[in-house]
Copies of this chain bind each other. A is one copy, B any other.
């Protein structure tokens, strides 16, 4: 198999090769829409299942709302329409017909009275329902989540990171008080951050977005930002405190215990298939995909090495026991006894697919009661006693999971700089990249100028940022906190 483009040579090309060879996804003929292939979708299923359980534990219920949003709904929240009307798929007709020359054309007689937008996000259609679902304090809090596809007409697309159609979950909640809504938005941010670190092995910085980077219609946007191996930031999830904006736009009020009518307070929050892009770019290496065990569709691949049918049979018998032991431990295993492929091909395949642990067993291993165990993350191998091998593998998977997170943390530490002047800022950005912690005067004007001049944006104002007197690197005006700059996806 041809070598991969090196990350250091062309990061973007490398990224596409990793996706292609692992069989994760591909572009479709429909501009901007991707096909998520079975192996890529299996990662998404694993992510979904962990996140869904976390949402339910925190009191949310799933529901499903229409794909289509009447054009007029989008127009009800002033900022929201600004943010989403410019890049949306518009349904104008409901029928095709054959023209006189036999071509299939849009039937002009089947024009919709009001155009429908394919949802770019569902605040408007959901708040239209909430209006009838919420009457009194008894109906609150209302905590809904939806797993769905959404469409935003993106001009430049990249698999997983930016696609016209993508899969996501969107939480939408309504509360009787401002405080409760803010605490919900923060809670979900922590859920996302914990998921990123504990399952994806991807450390994130939790923070607030600046006013200019907020979700269209939010009073406050919280985010988690991760660092990719090229030093660029990836916004991996957002959680919005929506104030009473949508409640007012859709006139959603509740009667409190005294019967007084008040607008409710809202949040929304989402993560998408973009997370898969982040997962790929956090851990993979110049030999292809590397997956953290907790999200790997196949955690252990077992490859038999044999020449005769008797040898394969002897190996299969032994492996059957190991397989059932591993399955009992909740570990997913694939015993690859496909006779059409050679062991070398299989080794390359599981390397490309980022399978955390590979076990190889041949006739000599049978004799010695041993097997070769290889780990994908460090690319190291060892010969292990067969007795107790399932316990060994279980511990190894846990070690790999920890190692990936620690490595990513170390990388982030090494690539995070603190600077105190604009010259230093530009120098670090150009020579080293990564996250840059610096003082900023809090104005959108300064933010935009730095962005225009350097392409770096304020990724967030970290929740953990300490009060520290300083001067804005651009204007010299006073600042009380450092914010995080980076170039971003």
Contact = CB atoms under 8 A, between A and B. Distances in A.
A74 B95 CA distance: 13
Given A67-B118, A90-B91, A144 B96 contact: no
Interface in A140-199: 144, 148-149, 151, 153, 165, 167
Interface stretch (A35-43, A226-234, A314-322, A386-394): A35-43
Interface string A270-297: 0000000000000000000000000000
Interface in A85-103: 85-97
12 contacts: A28-B65, A28-B66, A28-B125, A38-B144, A42-B61, A68-B89, A71-B96, A72-B104, A85-B96, A90-B95, A91-B91, A94-B153
Interface residues of A, number: 60
Contacts of A85: 95-97, 104
B38 A62 contact: yes
Nearest to A28: B66
A340 interface: yes
Interface in A118-155: 118, 125, 128-129, 138, 144, 148-149, 151, 153
B38 A69 contact: no
Contacts of A45: 62
Given A68-B89, A86-B97, 19 more contacts: A30-B69, A33-B66, A35-B64, A35-B129, A36-B64, A37-B63, A42-B61, A44-B64, A67-B118, A67-B165, A75-B104, A81-B104, A85-B95, A87-B94, A88-B95, A89-B91, A90-B92, A92-B106, A95-B153
Contacts of A41: 61-64
A365 interface: no
Contact of A95 (B86, B138, B340): B86
Contact of A68 (B30, B69, B97, B144): B30
Nearest to A115: B106
Nearest to A87: B95
A104 B95 CA distance: 24
A303 interface: no
B70 A90 contact: no
Interface in A229-250: none
Contacts of A65: 28, 35
A116 interface: yes
Contacts of A44: 64
Sorted from nearest, which 7 A-B pairs have the closest CB atoms? Answer: A38-B61, A33-B66, A36-B64, A85-B96, A90-B93, A94-B153, A92-B92
